[in-house]
């Protein structure tokens, strides 16, 4: 090798300032047109497409040295990809990180919204795999853009109606489409529909980054976000029969953990920070810790 | 047991240490040198440079070594590095007519000015595994021809163009778009399309090109010419007012002479399909030129029915770095979404069970379904 070190020194938060400016422009446009997908010149990142490159680019463009970053995947701070993205920002931006929702100024997430209500001084950055809510009804971008432009969302309602006709339920349980401020139908990223109501009129700014698909969209604070439904089939969220087996929390989203090969299961908080905080505060399960042997289906 | 489903920094670190170990393999065997990779696995290096869109054999060799020979992984490494480089500006269009030629063949003419030159090709080898490959037998020096800097190698398409038998190539005066800097919107222009194909996956383009030959968007192609060799890269320096050479790169160019067009007012002419790839990669250049021509269907009022003619389909799926990322992201945890599906599935099954237990209710349900 003739080159002493072929690899360059990276800029603060990896992206060069020109790229950050370009992304911030897209973010501003997205905030100005809530729910509209703004095309942006997504960069190739040192992590694979589909693994959070959109969220990482948005976070990298808005983060400053005084920010406190939290990264979650499936609600947890310690899932491998969350660990990897957090250490990426520790390495490239040397920012303070946290696992506590209320300490973070920026929260990057994949597939969940924290249980703790967010504040106006916080930004939630979603990683988005497929930003187009109409994609599975119409694969062509040229078509879906026209459909959005004409506010032509009949196809989506037909799909939801067909679900009801077939299953008596709307069979979409995550990435449940929403309408933003009565205009754009938007994909909330693959969060469980349990989390959809948290988006509505949230005081926090919510930004969505899709790196591979090169789109950014946003929900400005306090914007109306309505999950699509019908008058006679109103939107409803998942309910769990039992509280969290560890901290006893109710009305939160639970992960099912298989405890043995005889049908034993326990249900615990998907939001690990929420669970930990409650345990630290001395909260605990009301019933036996592990409801092993419980019948599947409960 | 609860912890077991979550990963951690220690697990990642250990996994990567194991990867380092497996990459190195048996320590009693000497480690691969970059010279060995660039010299003896040159076509792998060429593919990584082409699809990584960065002409740097040494870095490509490093990437191949780091990726344990996984070329798509190596392409990804090179791309992720490339994206950090500043974009200084466009070069002048390469003049492949002035190529220092290593190989040049035409399937449309038996002989032509400059002649046919086979160069280092696998063509006409018998695909028998050579026992010599197990050892390190000395290789005799090749036959060489003197290189005349002024020798004339007119492109076949130029010869056809002189007679106006093929569509003109266009001026290409404007600065082409850059899909790594601007989001692609459909329909694109030819320059952006060619750019996407040039860095597109060889296997994907090969299959699509093949499909056009089997009737899915047929283009009646002839290999007008394939040439491989070195071309100089020149950039305009505004301060100087003239262009300077910044280096030489090896490229493979394929000009596919395709189905002719024409109508009452316009005289019939052949059309072009174009392929240009970094390094030596005839397969990729040929496949690219087939697909490029198929994608121009709209220009020639051809019916667009086949996948290879569908710009959005081809361009959105030809990038192997994007494809591998999204396919492999399915490995990431999805248990929140899966839980949501489980919950619904169990509810549907419970409801169905309840219905079958109460026959009257089931009957009522059926009538309602009919009514719907």
In sequence order, what DSSP letters do the residues of A233-271 get, joined into one string? Answer: B-------SS--TTT---SS-EEEEE-SSSS-EEEEES-
Q: In terms of pTM, does the model score above 0.90?
A: no
A231 band by pLDDT with thresholds 50, 70 and 90: very high
Residue A294 has pLDDT above 60, yes or no: no
pLDDT of residue B2: 42
Q: Is the ipTM of this complex over 0.85?
A: no
pLDDT of residue A260: 87
* Cβ count within 10 A of residue B300: 15
Task: Flag if A74 and B1 touch (Cβ within 8 Å).
Answer: no
Closest by CA position to B184, among listed A188, A59, A39: A39
pLDDT of residue B87: 85
- 8 Å CB contact between B56 and A1: no
Catalytic, A275? Answer: yes
pLDDT of residue A8: 55
Mark the ranges of chain B whose per-residue pLDDT is less than 70: 1-7, 149-151, 172-173, 263-264, 359-372
- Which chain A residues touch B321 with a CB distance below 8 Å? 44, 48-49
Cα separations in angstroms, A228 against A38, A136, A150, A232, B23 = 22, 16, 18, 12, 51
Mutate to test the interface with A, among B4, B84, B331 (most CBs of A within 10 A): B84
Catalytic, A264? Answer: no
The string of pLDDT tens digits covering residues A1-31 is 444 555 556 789 999 999 999 999 999 999 9
The string of pLDDT tens digits covering residues B339-360 is 999 989 999 999 889 988 876 5
| Mean pLDDT value across residues A74-91 | 91
Closest chain B residue to A174 measured between Cα atoms?
B337
A279-284, Cβ contacts within 8 angstroms, sequence gap of 24 or more: A279/A246, A279/A247, A283/A247, A283/A248, A283/A249, A284/A246, A284/A247, A284/A248
- 8 Å CB contact between B234 and B91: yes
CA-based nearest distance B111→chain A, Å: 44
Closest by CA position to B273, among listed B202, B310, B222, B215: B222
- 8 Å CB contact between B46 and B53: no
B-facing residues of A in 180-219 (CB < 8 A) are: 190-194, 212, 214
What angle, 0 to 180 degrees and rounded to 10, lies between the N-to-C axes of helices A53-62 and A17-32?
Answer: 100
Catalytic, A247? Answer: yes
pLDDT of residue A263: 83
**Pick from A109-118, A202-211, A219-228, A237-246: least confident:** A237-246
The string of pLDDT tens digits covering residues B285-327 is 999 999 999 999 988 888 899 999 999 999 999 999 999 999 9
Work out the percent of chain A whose per-residue pLDDT is above 70.
92
pLDDT of residue B302: 87
CA dist., res. A123 & res. A71, Å (int):
12
A176 band by pLDDT with thresholds 50, 70 and 90: very high
Catalytic, A287? Answer: no
The string of pLDDT tens digits covering residues A34-51 is 999 999 999 999 999 999
Task: Flag if B83 and A45 touch (Cβ within 8 Å).
Answer: yes
Please name the member of B86, B329, B336 whose beta carbon is closest to the beta carbon of A51: B329
Closest by CA position to A210, among listed A25, A63, A50: A50
Residue A198 has pLDDT above 70, yes or no: yes
pLDDT of residue B360: 59
Q: Hey, is the C-beta of A107 within 8 angstroms of any chain B C-beta?
A: no
- Which chain A residues touch B298 with a CB distance below 8 Å? none
CA-based nearest distance B19→chain A, Å: 17
pLDDT of residue B172: 67
Indicate the average pLDDT of chain A: 90
CA dist., res. A88 & res. B310, Å (int):
38
Mutate to test the interface with A, among B309, B336, B353 (most CBs of A within 10 A): B336
pLDDT of residue B359: 67
Cβ-count burial of B208 within 10 angstroms (0-12 exposed, 13-18 middle, 19+ buried)? buried
């Amino acid at each position: 090798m003739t080159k002493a070190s072929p690899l360059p020194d990276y800029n603060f938060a990896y992206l060069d300032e020109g790229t950050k400016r370009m992304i911030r422009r897209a973010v501003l446009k997205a905030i100005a047109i809530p729910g509209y997908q703004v095309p942006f010149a997504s960069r190739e990142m040192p992590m694979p497409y589909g693994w959070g490159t959109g969220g990482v680019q948005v976070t990298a463009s808005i983060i400053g040295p005084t920010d406190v970053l939290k990264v979650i995947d499936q609600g947890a701070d310690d899932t491998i990809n969350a660990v990897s993205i957090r250490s990426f920002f520790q390495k490239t931006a040397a920012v303070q990180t946290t696992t506590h929702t209320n300490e973070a100024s920026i929260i990057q997430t994949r597939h969940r919204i924290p249980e703790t209500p967010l504040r106006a001084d916080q930004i939630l950055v979603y990683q988005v795999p497929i930003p187009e809510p109409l994609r599975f009804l119409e694969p062509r971008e040229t078509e879906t853009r026209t459909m959005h432009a004409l506010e032509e969302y009949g196809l989506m309602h037909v799909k939801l109606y067909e679900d009801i006709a077939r299953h008596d339920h709307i069979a979409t349980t995550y990435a449940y489409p929403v309408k933003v401020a009565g205009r754009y139908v938007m994909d909330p990223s693959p969060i469980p529909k349990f989390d959809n109501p948290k988006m509505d009129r949230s005081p926090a700014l919510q930004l969505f980054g899709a790196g591979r698909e090169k789109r950014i969209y946003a929900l400005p604070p306090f914007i109306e976000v309505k999950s699509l439904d019908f008058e006679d089939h109103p939107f409803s969220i998942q309910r769990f029969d039992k509280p969290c087996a560890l901290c006893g929390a109710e009305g939160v989203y639970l992960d099912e953990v298989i405890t043995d090969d005889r049908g034993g299961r326990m249900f615990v908080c998907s939001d690990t920070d929420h669970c930990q905080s409650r345990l630290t505060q001395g909260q605990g399960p009301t019933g036996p810790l592990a409801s092993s042997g419980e019948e599947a289906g409960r | 047991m609860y912890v077991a489903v979550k990963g951690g920094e220690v697990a990642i670190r250990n996994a990567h240490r194991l990867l380092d170990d497996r990459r190195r393999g048996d320590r009693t065997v000497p480690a691969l040198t970059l010279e060995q990779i660039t010299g003896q696995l040159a076509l792998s290096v060429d593919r990584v440079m082409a699809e990584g869109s960065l002409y740097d054999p040494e870095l490509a060799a490093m990437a191949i070594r780091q990726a344990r020979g996984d070329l798509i992984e190596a392409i990804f490494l090179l791309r992720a590095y490339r994206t950090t480089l500043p974009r200084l500006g466009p070069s002048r269009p390469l003049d492949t007519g002035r190529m220092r030629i290593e190989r040049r063949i035409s399937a449309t003419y038996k002989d032509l000015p400059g002649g046919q030159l086979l160069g280092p090709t696998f063509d006409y080898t018998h695909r028998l595994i050579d026992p010599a490959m197990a050892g390190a037998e000395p290789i005799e020096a090749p036959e060489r021809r003197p290189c005349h800097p002024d020798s004339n190698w007119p492109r076949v398409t130029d010869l056809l163009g002189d007679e106006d038998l093929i569509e003109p190539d266009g001026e290409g005066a404007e600065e082409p778009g850059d899909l790594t800097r601007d989001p692609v919107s459909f329909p694109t222009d030819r320059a952006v399309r060619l750019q996407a194909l040039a860095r597109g996956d060889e296997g994907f383009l090969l299959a699509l090109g093949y499909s056009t030959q089997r009737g899915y968007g047929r283009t009646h192609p002839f290999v007008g010419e394939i040439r491989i060799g070195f071309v100089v890269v020149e950039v305009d320096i505004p301060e100087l007012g003239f262009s300077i050479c910044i280096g030489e790169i090896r490229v493979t160019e394929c000009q596919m002479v395709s189905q002719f067009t024409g109508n009452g007012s316009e005289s019939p002419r052949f059309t072009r399909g174009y392929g240009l790839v970094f390094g030596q990669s005839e397969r990729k250049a040929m496949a690219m030129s087939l697909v490029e021509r198929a994608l121009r269907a709209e220009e020639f009022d051809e019916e667009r029915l086949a996948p290879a003619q569908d710009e959005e389909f081809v361009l959105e799926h030809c990038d192997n770095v994007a494809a591998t990322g999204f396919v492999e992201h399915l490995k990431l945890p999805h248990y929140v979404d899966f839980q949501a599906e489980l919950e619904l599935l169990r509810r549907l099954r419970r409801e169905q069970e309840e219905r079958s237990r109460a026959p009257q209710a089931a009957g009522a349900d059926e009538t309602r379904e009919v009514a719907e």
